[in-house]
Structure 1
Amino acid sequence: MGKVFSSVRRRLRTWVQIGFTALTNGYAAGFAKGTIYKGPTKAFCVPGLNCYSCPGALGACPIGSFQAVIASRDYKFTFYIVGFLMLVGAVFGRFVCGWLCPFGLVQDLLYKIPFIKKLRRLPGDRFLKYLKYVILAGFVIILPLTVLDIVGQGQPWFCKYICPSGTLFAGIPLVASSPPLQQALGWLFTWKVGILAVLLLLSVAVYRPFCRYLCPLGAVYGLFNPIAFYRFRVDGQKCTGCAVCQKACPMDIPVYKTPNSPECIRCGVCKKSCPHGAICPTLSKNRVKEAQ
């Protein structure tokens, strides 16, 4: 019975990811007809990457929505989206990345493919992990604000030139169902499919390369990890510094040193692997005891 319960716990996160992906991309008619849902729920953001143009999307992506507003010639700031990101970040941090993001689910499933040598990190990981902050500052904020067309309108640079989630869930399904779009394809679609293909191939060998190195939404939420309502604590009296948590962590984080690293996606593997029970989330029943 204990083995069955343990197996259920290991699969819980995957089922939560699948359920949330189905919930936020549940407009089946969009995939069948090659159309985009434009109902009232599209005015609201969902926590993870969720391309507005995905045929099944019932909500909007916070990064895409943010760019759409600041790139507009009529608006330069969006209190709703910034407030949304701050609220979600302050409560959950990168828990969203680990449990609620559809593209995170895709990477997780690819990493489960066996018979491929797994890498702990890419060469240059120490520097590459900061690339997502460069993308956040440059492609999400600065370029949409400063590179304008003749009428003063900017572009959603990250969505247009980088976002692999939008390519996978929106671009490819829409192109596959529309002959006119297929005839109009150019270099940009080829470029984005190339980015997607590289990331999907890397995901088989390296755990979540997009989340680690490129995702601006993960960069935003990661800034809140140390102060989020949901975070991890390490009991200094129980922890021996054995580093078992780091060996188990798919993101290769030294949890015993930095339990609330901006890179942590709150998958919980470290907590389960700790032989001394030293790692405790703030929402645990043992949080008071662990904190003492």
Structure 2
Amino acid sequence: MSSRRIAFQGVTAILQNSWFAGFLRGRVWRGSSKAVCVPGLNCYSCPGAWGSCPIGSLQAVFNRASDRISLYVAGLIGLFGVVLGRLVCGWLCPFGLAQELLYHIRSRKVRVGPTRLRYLKYVVLAVLVILMPLLVRDSFGVGDPWFCKLVCPAGTLEAALPLMALNASLRGAAGWLFAWKATLLVATVAASVVVYRPFCRFVCPLGAIYGLFNRVSFVQLTLNKDTCTHCGVCADVCKMGVDPSVHATDPECIRCSDCVAVCPVHALSLGLQSSQRKQGTTTN
């Protein structure tokens, strides 16, 4: 299951960044498709990206001078959340794939269980994605995309590095801000080798949004309480620190299906909520 999922993530990452001419020319696609948000964290400025990042789009909504919030962007993110929840993180996010590939590098691994650090991503969402673009503005009444500007390692990896590699003028203009973000990227890469998806677990504001939908999304990880023996195998295999036998709709669950694959009594299943209920399976 894990290898199939990683292959699926690879295909979706390529499809989301399939304007290959951009990588050769060092240019960003600016066609009409950029008005559409892709589901996962994928930088708008990646040379191959044909769509927009949901977090970048959300900040653009909040930082403009008109003070009117676009329901289109919020609605599209909400649609992804209602239908898929954090399945997006586990199956459709290019930066999630990058972290998983790094974790497969042979090294001593550090298993991190449930920790209060998981709440940091909600702080990042509230402060850098919503409040600062709304409240911190220049003399023209326009704010900055603070998360993209100060933090996002996906943007550094997918956009800044390939564009600078092809554009000498950009390399010459690089200053302290690029050095800061490059440092964050290096730290994220190093952490991803030893800790499973550290950015997803502790920092990503998009994961915070989708996690809020896990309990109500159409796609659900469900538990048959009559079958479950509480053997603990599912909790042992979960790299996100979730115990599906206790809380199958945990906001940290990325619907990777590893627990489904190892359950000895087949008490766990992943699928549409309505079909699961017909089979007599209960959501925890």
TM-score, normalised by the number of residues in structure 1:
0.93
Q: Secondary structure at the match of 1:282?
A: strand
Counterpart check, 1:27 vs 2:19: yes
**Corresponding residue for 1:105?**
97
Q: Aligned-pair distance for 1:175?
A: 1.1
In the alignment, the residues of structure 2 paired with residue 42 and residue 69 of structure 1 have an alpha-carbon distance, to the nearest angstrom, of 14
Q: 2:69 aligns with which of 73, 77, 100?
A: 77
Task: Structure 1: state its 5+ residue gaps.
Answer: 1-8
In the alignment, the residues of structure 1 paired with residue 10 and residue 112 of structure 2 have an alpha-carbon distance, to the nearest angstrom, of 26
Q: 1:278 aligns with which of 240, 251, 267?
A: 267
**Corresponding residue for 1:218?**
207
Counterpart check, 1:192 vs 2:184: no
In the alignment, the residues of structure 2 paired with residue 69 and residue 105 of structure 1 have an alpha-carbon distance, to the nearest angstrom, of 27
In the alignment, the residues of structure 1 paired with residue 136 and residue 94 of structure 2 have an alpha-carbon distance, to the nearest angstrom, of 30
Equivalences for 1:10-49 in 2 at 5 Å?
Answer: 10-49=2-41
Q: Secondary structure at the match of 2:33?
A: helix
Match of 1:93, as an amino acid?
G
Equivalences for 1:1-292 in 2 at 5 Å?
Answer: 9-114=1-106, 116-121=107-112, 126-283=115-272, 288-291=278-281
In the alignment, the residues of structure 1 paired with residue 23 and residue 194 of structure 2 have an alpha-carbon distance, to the nearest angstrom, of 30
Distance 1:166 1:145, change over 3 A: same
Match of 1:268, as an amino acid?
S
In the alignment, the residues of structure 2 paired with residue 51 and residue 286 of structure 1 have an alpha-carbon distance, to the nearest angstrom, of 35
In the alignment, the residues of structure 1 paired with residue 226 and residue 138 of structure 2 have an alpha-carbon distance, to the nearest angstrom, of 60
Residues 1-23 of structure 1, C-alpha deviations (whole Å, 9 max, x = no match): xxxxxxxx442111110111110
In the alignment, the residues of structure 2 paired with residue 191 and residue 150 of structure 1 have an alpha-carbon distance, to the nearest angstrom, of 26
Match of 1:16, as an amino acid?
F
Residues 233-290 of structure 1, C-alpha deviations (whole Å, 9 max, x = no match): 1111111111110100111211100101000000000111111111122339765334
In the alignment, the residues of structure 1 paired with residue 139 and residue 2 of structure 2 have an alpha-carbon distance, to the nearest angstrom, of 54
Residues 159-203 of structure 1, C-alpha deviations (whole Å, 9 max, x = no match): 000011001000111111111111111110000011111011110
Distance 1:205 1:218, change over 3 A: same
Residues 26-46 of structure 1, C-alpha deviations (whole Å, 9 max, x = no match): 111111010000111111111
Q: Which stretch shifts more, 45-54 or 73-82?
A: 73-82
In the alignment, the residues of structure 2 paired with residue 276 and residue 286 of structure 1 have an alpha-carbon distance, to the nearest angstrom, of 16
Task: Structure 2: state its 5+ residue gaps.
Answer: none
In the alignment, the residues of structure 1 paired with residue 278 and residue 44 of structure 2 have an alpha-carbon distance, to the nearest angstrom, of 42
Q: Secondary structure at the match of 1:130?
A: helix
Q: Secondary structure at the match of 1:46?
A: coil
TM-score, normalised by the number of residues in structure 2:
0.96
Q: Aligned-pair distance for 1:291?
A: 1.8
Q: Aligned-pair distance for 1:74?
A: 2.2
Q: Aligned-pair distance for 1:137?
A: 0.2
**Corresponding residue for 1:5?**
none
Match of 2:111, as an amino acid?
R
